Every structure is written in structure tokens, then in C-alpha cells.
Amino acid sequence: MSNNRFVGGIPPSISGCGNLEFLDFHSNALTRTVPDTLPKSLQLMDISDNRLTGQLSPSIGSLTELTKLNLWKNQFSGRIPAEILSCSKLELLDLGDNGFSGDIHKAFGQLPSLEI
């Protein structure tokens, strides 16, 4: 669903897709925040290059199957939730070009699979 002109938010009803492994909404015009409930089966989530706002919810830590999380080029703000460290399978994490603030948790360097 990438490279379109979708507007509005990521529909919360997507949490009902219990077997969804890849969620790719990059390069649209999505706004609002990331829903608190996303399918636990997600392995890749690319919502980069949108206009998503607000703080990243601590519920991101429940996505323990994630290997790739790309939030680049949005308008997120606040702290990066420490719960993201529960995503121990993360190989790629891109939080660039947002408005995150505060300290970077030192445990990020201990994510065992993190490569990029």
C-alpha cells in the first residue's frame, strides 16, 4: 500500500489481521498516530515518509516478531519508549527525521540482532 495518496490514519481495525506479517504504508500522506493495537505477528512495519504525529506508544514493545521497523520521515515526538527493547529480533531500526527527544537508552546497543 506504499507510494499512494492515502490520507487519514492507519485504521485500528488492522489489529484484527492476526496473521499479518508485513505492513507497508510508506510514502503516503497518513496523519494521526500509530494505533496502540497492531497484529503481534508483524515482522516488518514500514510507515516511513508520511505525516504521522504524536508519541510512539509503549505498546510497540508487544511486537516481538518485528525484524524491520522504519519510522523515518514523520513527525513523531517525545521519548523513544524503552519498551521497544522487547523487540529483540530487530535487524533494522530507522527513527530518523522525526522530532524524538530525550536520552537514547544505552540498551539499544544490546539488541542482539540489530544491524542497521
pLDDT of residue 10: 95
Q: Are strands 68-70 and 7-8 parallel, antiparallel or unpaired?
A: unpaired
Strands (DSSP E) found in the chain = 7-8, 22-24, 29-30, 44-46, 53-55, 68-70, 75-78, 92-94, 99-100
Collapse the DSSP code of 6 into the 3-class scheme (helix H, G, I; strand E, B; otherwise coil) and give the result.
Answer: coil
Domains and CATH numbers, the chain: 7-110 (3.80.10.10)
pLDDT of residue 106: 84
CB distance 59 to 34 below 8 Å: no
Q: What is the pLDDT of residues 84-105, one digit of tens each?
A: 999 999 999 999 999 999 988 8
Could you read off the pLDDT of 5-48 as tens digits, one per residue?
Answer: 999 999 999 999 999 999 999 999 999 999 999 999 999 999 99
For the entire predicted model, the pTM comes to 0.94
